[in-house]
Amino acid sequence: MTLAEEVRKFFKGDISDDEATLKTYSHDASLFEVKPKLVVFPKDTEDLKNLVKWVGENPGNSVTVRAAGSDMTGGPLGESVVADVTRYLNKMAEISEHKGLTSVLVEPGMFYRDFEQRTQEKGLILPCFTASKNLCALGGMFGNNCAGERSLRYGKMENFILESKVIFADGNEYVVKPLSRTELDVKMAQGDFEGSIYQKIFSLVEDNKEALAQAKPKVSKNSAGYYLWNVWDVEHQVFDINKLLVGSQGTLGIVTEMKLKLVPEKKYHDMVALFLKSWDELPQVVNAILPHDPESLETFDEDTLKLGIRFMPEIARKAGTGLVSFAAQFIPEILIGLRMLGLPKLIILVEIAEQAEGEVKEKVKKVMEALKSFNVWSRVIEKDSEEEKFWVMRRESFNLLRKHVKGKRTAPFVDDFCISAEKVPEFLPRALKILEEAGIEANIAGHAGNGNFHIIPLMDLRKESERKKIPIVADKFYDLVAEYKGTTTAEHNDGIVRTPYLNKMYSPKVLGLFKQTKEIFDPQNIFNPGKKVNGTLEYLESHIAIE
């Protein structure tokens, strides 16, 4: 009996094991290829519960949950059963308000673009969306603890998870929410699988609180490892396993529903676009702007700008306008370029957004005043259409690279570091030198306010000589990140690509605590194996996609 026939006995949803489907699900937006044995599309939560029970009773099988497949780390790739939740588990409830808190229940397979359309009808937003917001789904955002252009003000996905429903390794679905100490004591005394998880995790964080406090990365954003340091808020006596599940890439359980906090979309906004001749003044410029509470402080390099110019017709379509009118919007930037005697090395986008128009204008005025002492060119942009041209260019840069670079492909493996913003001009030349010495071309964009940048190498992975560069360069690169006390991943998470390098950030003791965490939740290793713990460099190298 085939695997598909076995699963069909208890599974109501769709099942596929044809070669075309298996090949499609062998890839995400990463540089890897991992072929599953079976792809399933669960009809409901019962399908997932039954699948988890079956996998647990049949050694050698595992389940990897997949949403949109826009992950850049190999996170949703697995060798056994891949469960795509976007086909059926994509519902959203009505938005509700209770005691001044606005929230909504949503399933993991809902695409963010559809979710955002409905929240914006109410003037609301989930502001931790990613640059790939037109591609990603809510389940992946939960799994990676996503962040993006507005995280400077609002933080990451972990700040917006009020409750969740999760299937644990016993095949049962549980409500996971913040617990008081009294509620925690009751939970730990249950004597069942759920109670055991709470009891063991509480003991683990209590017994190792000093080691965990020291291990917590001292950066504004982090997606590396398990967030054990966030679970037990001693000051407020709140214990919340959601703080551990978010960012765990489906390795501890399967989220089936999220209760998300929403915030009002600011009614008025202006942009200040800055053009710099070098990276040297970046930290000083950022520090001058931050006191004025920008909603976003994004940046991209001249190569990304050139890419946008080269593929302007495609960007114009994305922006929903004609090529001529779209190109005409860049006349002010062309004039600035003439005054600069060439393209800027760096563009910074400063978004000021508030509920009152007067407050926006006043903040913009203060930002412009703060910039007078720097060697930067700038202009204030008040029209939405003009702002959108930059946002589309910033958000679409990775997709443009994926589609259009001939003979090479995007190879994201050093794509998400985060260090102190003031160290960026010192760090970047050293980081880029590592790539340059290996003969690797790259594009840079990122979140200047957080010190989080995305370096996207361009490589011809059909060549063995190119593939061999990846572990060598990654080793040097992450040594450098560790030297600057940063994180290897601020947003994109570990997956296949960075799990082997967690030892650059964490001590053997802390890595051991991560393994204990995995064993507490998933004693049979049935949830998305090889991510966060037990990932190897050998596996990474042997699964790089050649085509």
Taking residue 296's Cβ as centre, other Cβ atoms within 10 Å add up to 23
> How far apart, in whole angstroms, are the C-alpha atoms of residue 111 and residue 393?
21
Going from N- to C-terminal start, the domains of the chain cover 3-84, 96-264, 268-404
496, 73 contact by CB (below 8 A)? yes
Burial of 407 (0-12, 13-18, 19+ CB in 10 A): exposed
Place of tokens 């398990």: 226
pTM above 0.75, yes or no: yes
Largest CA distance in the chain: 74
Taking residue 356's Cβ as centre, other Cβ atoms within 10 Å add up to 11
Q: What is the sign of the dihedral through the CA atoms of 384, 307, 401 and 470? A: negative
Q: Let me know how many helices (H) and strands (E) the chain has, helices first.
A: 23, 22
Assigned CATH topology for domain 3-84: 3.30.43
Topology agreement, domain 96-264 and domain 268-404: no
Q: Which tokens go with 133?
A: 């917001």
Q: What does the pLDDT look like over 275-324, one tens digit per residue?
A: 999 888 888 999 999 999 999 999 888 887 777 777 777 777 776 777 77
DSSP letter for each residue of 394-413: HHHHHHHHHHH-TT-EE--S
| Amino acid found at 450 | N
Place of tokens 């940046």: 299
> How far apart, in whole angstroms, are the C-alpha atoms of residue 379 and residue 261?
34
> How far apart, in whole angstroms, are the C-alpha atoms of residue 385 and residue 373?
30
Q: Give me the tens of pLDDT residue by residue for the chain, a chain 547 residues long.
A: 899 999 999 999 999 999 999 999 999 999 999 999 999 999 999 999 999 999 999 999 999 999 999 999 999 999 999 999 999 999 999 999 998 899 999 999 999 999 999 999 999 999 999 988 999 999 999 999 999 999 999 999 999 999 999 999 999 999 999 999 999 999 999 999 999 999 999 999 999 999 999 999 999 999 999 999 999 999 999 999 999 999 999 999 999 999 999 999 999 999 999 999 988 888 899 999 999 999 999 988 888 777 777 777 777 777 677 777 766 677 777 677 777 778 898 889 999 999 999 999 999 999 999 999 998 999 998 877 677 777 777 776 666 666 666 678 889 999 999 999 889 889 999 999 999 999 999 888 889 999 999 999 989 999 999 999 999 999 999 999 999 999 999 999 999 999 999 999 999 999 999 999 999 999 999 999 999 999 999 999 999 999 7
168, 53 contact by CB (below 8 A)? no
Query: Which of 3.40.50.2000, 2.60.120.10, 3.40.630.10, 3.30.70.2190 is the CATH number of 268-404?
Result: 3.30.70.2190
Assigned CATH topology for domain 96-264: 3.30.465
> How far apart, in whole angstroms, are the C-alpha atoms of residue 118 and residue 94?
10
How many Cα atoms occupy the beta-carbon half-sphere of 192 within 13 Å? 10
